[in-house]
Structure 1
């Protein structure tokens, strides 16, 4: 159940985005040139991120299934509003291939997505910061690592074999509290629902991918708890491929046979746990600069439209993107 603050934030999210939709959209398009010039004044970090999310390096033609920027589908959804926030600055007739929802493979044509598989040939999947209200939560954690319960916790839907394998591996460990609060879960897998603040009472929080990325990874890494997880296989705007084992999180074996040993190790070496937590917190802070987030988002979409041959690039902006 969402907290009152979370519910209020959700209401504000929709009110703000609905208001943007009713404002004459020509006002946004009129500001594109100045917005692009502002974005190009950003530093190398922003440019690197633009080319990380949009790895396209060749021209292409949108597919027959592409939709105009002014007619993005799923009106009223968070995917719609998060893409429209930046698409509204461009001509409404420009075409976009997109795949909303959980993307488990690389699109055959260059397309805007929320997530993509972590692999070398994933360039057709152009990441935008979609469904961000759900995925990008960085709540304040008032408990220090030392003041938390010396146990690991996990809650989630048993929607893939990895999650069932994890619960099977740790169900008898006294240092683990793991299970699913879903009514559909078998009785021997079921555990009571825990709120996010209740999760944060534990020193160790496990992150497991579901249909694609693990939604809880962002808020775990922003907390004072230590993240335990297998290496990620999908990535979003959070750039999970750049999250490093033993630097930002503690890696787990595929069969989860090492969970108890990992917890015991960090109970004996709390300073090392704190080192990883500090690095994870620093990683999360790169997403808190709203000016940079805005610039990266606009330029990712701009690069898509330029390479699709639909707009002629501004020489200075394009020089900034290409380095």
Structure 2
């Protein structure tokens, strides 16, 4: 069987769409916003509201620091263009005098005020980190897998940069294990036995088990791994994004491993011997993924997150009363 070769988002199309958006008159966006907000009742309102409140946990009014808040009219690209365009896509719809606070990149430390961010810690009081769908061209990559779980090789696979201590330790522990095809791809001056070449998503889909290991924040491969017919294995996630990793349940959506990966061999053996259990988890993973595969609904949720943000920071109401 051949795999369907649609394993990466088209970056050229992504940037082209965003350039065209910048040419659209603001009046059209403002009219479109009202239309989109009025479609809420055509969806499951309780579900939509629950996701908005998950991303923006605050329900009481808050203030934005003057020295950190940026007005939409002064929002400019300063590197990290994928992040810039992902937020700009939604800012187009709101008044150019509204202000936002945000942070791009993999940094996950919390600020003393609400700010938009790609990822946040799952544990503790994380309410000031407002999750937004940022860098989606890299992270929100769902795939179509034509191989069933039982047709795949009975091994676990992982490729990636292993700069963090926990990743480096994992690679050195399992790079030569007979049940694994694991290796690091980070360039270095001194070759190491655990250095292995790039492996495409299509090639990784030939394995029953895909390791999803957090780096600076979430595991980049988690979204496509959970949309595949392979079984996702990982330690309990410590960070979350728009994908709501904090709602994932061990044994339901993925196979949980110990933080030191000492039970990896045991878990591989178990699910090789119990494919029906693996397939049940894979089906639940697909169900979780499916909720992010409705572009119009995703658009509405993103707009409602910003609307709530502007309301709680006192900007939406002030504008409405002008």
For normalisation by structure 1, the TM-score amounts to: 0.92
In 2, the alpha carbon distance for the partners of 1:88 and 1:75 equals: 18
Rate the CA distance shift 1:149–1:4 in 2: closer, same or farther, 3 A: closer
Q: After superposition, where does 1:133-152 map in structure 2 within 5 Å?
A: 133-152=137-156
Residues 66-97 of structure 1: CA deviation (Å, up to 9, x unaligned): 11123323267111111111111110110100
Report what 1:320 is aligned to.
none
Q: Which moved more, 1:93-102 or 1:22-31?
A: 22-31
Query: What is the aligned partner in structure 2 of residue 321 from structure 1?
Result: none
Task: After TM superposition, give the deviation of residue 27 of structure 1 in Å.
Answer: 1.9
What's the offset of the Cα at 1:104?
1.6
Match of 1:282 in 2: 287
Of the three residues 114, 117, 121, the one matched with 2:121 is 117
Pairwise CA distance, 1:314: 11
Pick from 224, 237, 247 the counterpart of residue 219 of structure 1: 224
Q: Which residue of 2 aligns with 1:54?
A: 56
Q: Distance in 1 between matches of 2:286 and 2:318?
A: 37
Shifted more, 225-234 versus 58-67: the winner is: 58-67
SS of match in other structure, 2:311: helix
Q: For structure 1, list consecutive stretches of 5 or more residues without a partner in the other structure.
A: 316-323
Match 2:47 to one of 41, 45, 48: 45
The size of the alignment, in residue pairs, is 313
Matches within 5 A, 1:1-323: 9-39=10-40, 41-43=42-44, 44-63=46-65, 64-74=67-77, 77-184=81-188, 186-312=191-317
SS at match of 1:163: helix
Query: Which range moved further: 145-154 or 68-77?
Result: 68-77
- Displacement of 1:56 in angstroms is 1.0
Q: State whether residues 103 and 115 of structure 2, in contact with CA within 8 Å, keep that contact through their aligned partners in structure 1.
A: yes
SS of residue matched to 1:154: strand
1:286 and 1:7, CA in 2 relative to 1: closer, same or farther beyond 3 A?
A: closer
Q: Distance in 2 between matches of 1:8 and 1:252?
A: 29
1:97-152 CA-partner distances (Å, limit 9, x unpaired)? 00111132122210011111102310001111111111011111011111111100
Instruction: Give the structure-2-normalised TM-score.
Output: 0.92
